[in-house]
Structures are given as C-alpha cells and as structure tokens.
Amino acid sequence: MKPVEVIEGKVSVLDRADVDTDQIIPKQFLKRVERTGFGEFLFYDWIRDGEIELEPNPILVAGANFGSGSSREHAVWALADFGFDAVIAPSFSDIFYVNSTKNGLLPVIVSAEHCRGIAAAGQARIDLDDQTVDYAGGVVRFEIEEDVRHRLLAGHDEISVTLQVSDAIDAYERDHPAIGRATTSL
Amino acid sequence: MNPNPQTMFDKIWRRHELGNGLIYIDLHLVHEVTSPQAFDGLRLADRTVRRPDRTLATADHNVPTDDTPLARMITDELSRKQVEKLESNCEEFGVPLYSLGSQRRGIVHVIGPELGVTQPGMTIVCGDSHTSTHGAFGALAFGIGTSEVEHVLATQTLVQKRPKTMRINYSGKLPEEVGAKDMILATIGRLGTGGMAGHVVEYAGEAVRALSMEGRMTMCNMTIEGGGRAGMIAPDEATFAYVEGKPGAPEDFGAAVAAWRELTTDEGAGFDTEVEIDASSLSPMVTWGTNPGMVTEVASTVPEPGSLEGPVNAETAARALAYMALEPGTPITEIQLDRVFIGSCTNSRIEDLRAAAAIVEGRQVASSVRAMVVPGSEGVRRAAEEEGLHETFREAGFEWRASGCSMCLGMNPDILIEGERCASTSNRNFEGRQGKGGRTHLVSPRMAAAAAIEGHFVDIRNWERTANSRQRTTPSSGGSR
C-alpha cells in the first residue's frame, strides 16, 4: 500500500445520508475476480440515471453513515479506482471505514457543519500527520486511531506486520486448542 | 456478588485477545464473491492458509436456484468463473468446500449452524456483513472486507478495535403473529440504520429467551442493518440442543456445554448503551422505503415525509417514496404486490418455511403474484421435502427452488424486473438490491406468505378468520404454476 500523508485538491460532493454499498457498486459488478477496474462502475445506476454527477477529484464529501450495508470491499476499490483518495463524512459504517483504511482510501470524520463548509469551499487539504482538514472556512481536526494513522503514513502491509508476531499466534494456539471438530474432518 | 462482572462480549473478547490489537479467529467462513482477491493476495506474497481446519467455504451468492448440478454448468459466464475460481482456490489452499453438487451446500450463514461448526463462545468471521447471524449462538461473529479475509487466511487473526457494547432488553411476551423479524425491524426503525454503529449488541429479555434458534438467527442477522458490528444472544438449553448431534459439534459435548454456560453476561455487568423495548407492544412490520429503518406497522399507513419522527430525515424519505412509487397516507394493506420471495440468510430456515407453509396450506397464490420459496441450504430443502412442505407450497402456486442467496441480492438469475414490487423475507430493501428498479418491502415469512395469497399486504393478526371463511365459500381455482 502506498503511504498516505497529504491529500489536497478539489472536492466532489454527494449530499446524501445512508449511502449504501449497493449504490456505490451494484451487485452485477461483484462477479469480477480482480481488485482493479471497478472505477467505471462507481454509482453505476445513479450516474447513468442522471441522479448524480461526480467528478473524479481527490476528495469526496458525503452524508452521514456513508458505506452502510454490504461488506463488499469492491465499494472502496471503486471509489479509489475512480480517483478519490479520501472521503469526508460525519460518520461511516464500521465495515466500510475499516475497508477504506486497508486500501489507503482515507476516511475522515468531521461534523456535518464542517462537511457542508468543505463542500461549499470546493477545495481542501487533508494532513494525516496533523489530523487536520484545512479549507476556506477554517481548519478542523479529525480523530483517527493511532495504529491506523501510523500504518497509513508508513504504507505498511498489515499482514506482514502481523506475521512478525507469529510466535504469539503459535503460543495462543498451543494454549487454546479448538473445542469443536476440524472443518477438514467433517 | 461478582466483584468484576463481565458481559458475554467481554468474556469472549478477553479469551481471544493476543495483544498487539489482534484477536484470534476460531472459524472463518468463505464464499465466492469476497474471496478471490484475497486468495490472489496470498499467492502474490507466497503465503499459505494458516488454518484450513478452521476455515469452511461454500458457494451461495451466484448459485442459480434451478438445480444446476455443477459449477461448470452455470450459464452466466461471470458467475461460473467466480464459482470455479472458488473451487480452484480451495483446492490449491486445502480449504474444505461445499460447492454445487454437494449435499451440504447452502447460504454460508445457514450451513455454519446447520453443520454445528457455529458454536457458543467462538469468534467467527466471513467476508459478508450478515455474519452477525452466528451471534445467535452466543458467538462473537461479524462481517469483514476482502483485505481482512486475506489477513485471516494468512494469520488466523484480525486487527480489531474493541467495539462498544449495547444491550437491548425486550420485556414482556410477543403478541400472536409477531415474531423475530418484526422485533428486529421495529428496533431498527426506532434506532435508525446507524443507531447501533460501533457497538456489539446483546439482545436480551423474556421475549428473546422465548425465541427459537431460527428466530434468534433472524434477529442477529439484521444487526448490521442497524449499523451494529455484531449481534449476540446468550446461549441456553435451546442453543445446546440445536448444536448437539451436528457433524461439527464437540466430541466431549458435556464439557463444552459446561464451558458455554459460563458465557452469560454477569449480573451487574455494564454496557455502554442500554435500550428497553416492550415486546408486548410490537406489531407485524413492513418496510415502506429504501433502507430497513424505513419501516412501519402493518396497520399503519405510508408516512408523510415531513411528519416523520425518529431517525429518518424528510428529504431521504421523500426520495425513497419516489423510488418506491408510494403515496403518503396509503394504508400498508392496500399496497399491491407483483412478487413474493421467501428465502435469504434472514428467513430461509426450516422454521421459517414451516411458518409460511402453515399460512398458505390449502390456499392459492393471487393470480397477479409470482411467488417463490428458496430454502437456505440443501439440508433445509431436504428437511422441508421430508415434511412435505414443498408440496404445500407448490399446490398453493409457489415455485419451490434449490437453495442459494437467490433474490436477496440478484447476483443470480432470480431478480425483479424494473418496477416490480416484492414482499421479501430478506434483509435489504436498498434501491436496486433485488434488481434494477425493483421495489422491495421487507416482512416476516408469515406476512410474505399471506401477502402472496391476497396479492397485497394483510394484517395477519385478524386475517386468517376471513381467509378461512372465504376459502370455504370459494373453492380455489388457480392451479400450481
């Protein structure tokens, strides 16, 4: 994963709450077995039906509870592939938020008021190191878990990091044998 | 008095914490849609699956429900490739798989419990948001993304932030004709689709204790629709009886049960949020909008967006009503239907099918409605056929299909045509979920079955008498289709 530090540029706005991942990437595109090429299918129905227009800017500002519903990581791949580097919203669904951080798509939580301000400004600068969003209306600080921030700044592959503690996993498995039967024995 | 009372969640979390922000995963369920990129990742980094013996795969989302016998015979090219990819990945990495042709195949959240691999006290994950279903057994079970699937395959652990806890206590007894689906829909209606965000939710109280395992799975299944990380219900005699004798059940079952009894939330344990719901005041519920929080009682009307109280805002509601082609003020029971779908990981288990069959027995599906029943697994299908439920459904005019996710999400040939309106026992009424332009109303299996008979929603609390008398005076004329 490439490191994330500063994301700066124009803002695209999707002024809707509870945008679910079925809208972000409709089910017919989940049959692909690759990780790439989902950008052209982003908000497929909404864009083709003329309900919304979206420019592939570095930043997307959206309504509360963004990314609700299905766990499909394809939603994150589609947003990133389309061109977004960050999504700013008052809140995100839990799974979408985690999926974003695994792909270097920075989820930024600020108040609805700041979201409106950033949307109106049309331009913003997000600094992950400082945890700030700087826009024409002011500078706002956002919260992000320290481990996640560190991993994004460093661009670390999480699996490699975990495999460094495989001794601890071995020890856990020795101390906690499975109670049920092995799935391979059924 | 316990000086250090813990919640059920606390107990399971503590047992599985490794430090370094990692938790150990006891069971990893895998399906064809969210796994191919994860297996690719393993290959690229030259990694293996750490614990194939704690991993189990099945094909469900893409599977046609027409008894296609083998993956290579799936007509849709992309679906076929995705299932074949799952087969080759499982073969290569040694993961046990129930694909097309297996008697154990089915929806991943149906077969886990059915095989007895879902057990109390476990941590269970799957690349599917409805993994919360397994919490019905007193497990900590939640959906993950594909990057996390790869992480679990490689390490059998997951990087997890400790969630907050919520307890929803349902006091009193449920009224007749009101069930688990209505309980969870009413709860999401009250709290909103983001109302449980960041929380693991324990469902408790008299009305929850009285639910069957199938009902408990329905409730936990839809926790994600309230934004919750996971739903949980304390294991009890019903849980142990359900697991006992299943192929994956522990060999020393007595010892396992003794340990499982210790999982219950201790008296005095604290939750971050507590919610009280009077179960005796609940009604059969019907969704009217484009998310599961847009829901009302069957005896009510389609709401006026401007006068809504609660978590749904007026603008979102107005857009939802436009999509749903519904007028505010219309009685719910006057909403006419084109399709009825009984199935999905929410409501496709044997008890769900029995409940629906009891409603349709001796009656006929309305001529304006196409209705289908899709059992959740091949196991459920066999059990239902042994009881003759398939004949009951067929005689009433329902299609009786092979198992799979089917019309819950339209990744297979079972979809709505643009503009069609469907009463569905599934979990999501999102725009286009069951097919582009399709209009979904979420209901319980009994409500869906009754709607199929009448061609519109009915209040099943006072419906059956009239229907029975009508049946006596007007013998059915429709044939099975």
**In whole numbers, what is the pLDDT of chain A averaged over residues?**
97
CA A137 to chain CA centroid, Å, is: 24
| Residue B466: pLDDT band with limits 50, 70, 90 | low
**A-interface mutation test, from B157, B244, B263, B434, most A Cβ less than 10 A away:** B157
Hey, what are B251's tokens?
Answer: 């060999």
**In whole numbers, what is the pLDDT of chain B averaged over residues?**
95
Our CA-based measurement puts residue B389 at a distance from the nearest CA of chain A, in whole angstroms, of 28
DSSP letter for each residue of chain A: -----EEEEEEEEE--SS-BHHHHS-GGGGG--SSS--GGGTTHHHHHTTS------SEEEE-SSBTBS---THHHHHHHHHT-SEEEES-B-HHHHHHHHHTT-EEEE--HHHHHHHHHH-EEEEETTTTEEEETTEEEE----HHHHHHHHHT--HHHHHHTTHHHHHHHHHHS--SS--GGG-
Q: Is the pLDDT of residue B32 over 90?
A: yes
The single residue listed with the structure tokens 């993956």 is: B71
Q: How far apart are CA B98 and CA B104, in angstroms?
A: 6
CB contact under 8 A, A31 and B33: yes
**A47 CB-near residues (< 8 Å, 6+ apart):** A53, A54
Torsions phi, psi for B282 (to 5 deg): -80, 155
CB contact under 8 A, A65 and B428: no
Question: Which run of H or E residues covers position B152?
Answer: helix B146-155
**B-interface mutation test, from A19, A25, A27, A152, most B Cβ less than 10 A away:** A27
Instruction: Count Cβ–Cβ pairs < 8 Å, chain A vs chain B.
Output: 202
DSSP state at residue B405: S
Question: Can you give the pLDDT at residue B309?
Answer: 87
Residues of chain B contacting A165 with CB distance shorter than 8 Å: 18, 20, 22
List A residues 122-161 in contact with B (Cβ-Cβ < 8 A).
Answer: 145, 147, 158-159
Q: How far apart are CA A83 and CA B109, in angstroms?
A: 35
Q: How far apart are CA B312 and CA B319, in angstroms?
A: 11
Q: Is the pLDDT of residue B448 over 70?
A: yes
Reported ipTM: the value is 0.97
| Residue B464: pLDDT band with limits 50, 70, 90 | low
CB contact under 8 A, A68 and B19: no
Residues of chain B contacting A65 with CB distance shorter than 8 Å: 193-194, 197, 227
Q: What is the pTM of this model?
A: 0.96
Q: How far apart are CA B399 and CA B255, in angstroms?
A: 44
For B404, the 3-state DSSP assignment is coil
Closest chain A CA to residue B257: A179
Distances (CA, A) of A87 to A65, A99, B291: 12, 12, 22
Phi-psi region of B152 (alpha: psi -120 to 50; beta: other; left: phi over 0): alpha
Closest chain B CA to residue A69: B225
Closest chain B CA to residue A182: B53
List pLDDT tens digits, range B331-340: 999 999 999 9
| Residue B478: pLDDT band with limits 50, 70, 90 | very low
Question: Which run of H or E residues covers position B163?
Answer: none
Question: Can you give the pLDDT at residue B467?
Answer: 53
The per-residue b/e assignment along A175-184, b for 16 or more CB within 10 angstroms, e otherwise, is eeebbbbebe
Our CA-based measurement puts residue B322 at a distance from the nearest CA of chain A, in whole angstroms, of 13
The single residue listed with the structure tokens 């972000």 is: A24
- Residue from the list A30, A34, A173 with its beta carbon closest to the beta carbon of B33: A30
Question: Can you give the pLDDT at residue A159?
Answer: 97
Q: Determine contact, residues B403/B380, Cβ cutoff 8 Å.
A: yes
Question: What radius of gyration do chain B's Cα atoms show?
Answer: 22
Q: Is the pLDDT of residue B472 over 80?
A: no
List pLDDT tens digits, range B413-443: 999 999 999 999 999 999 999 999 999 999 9
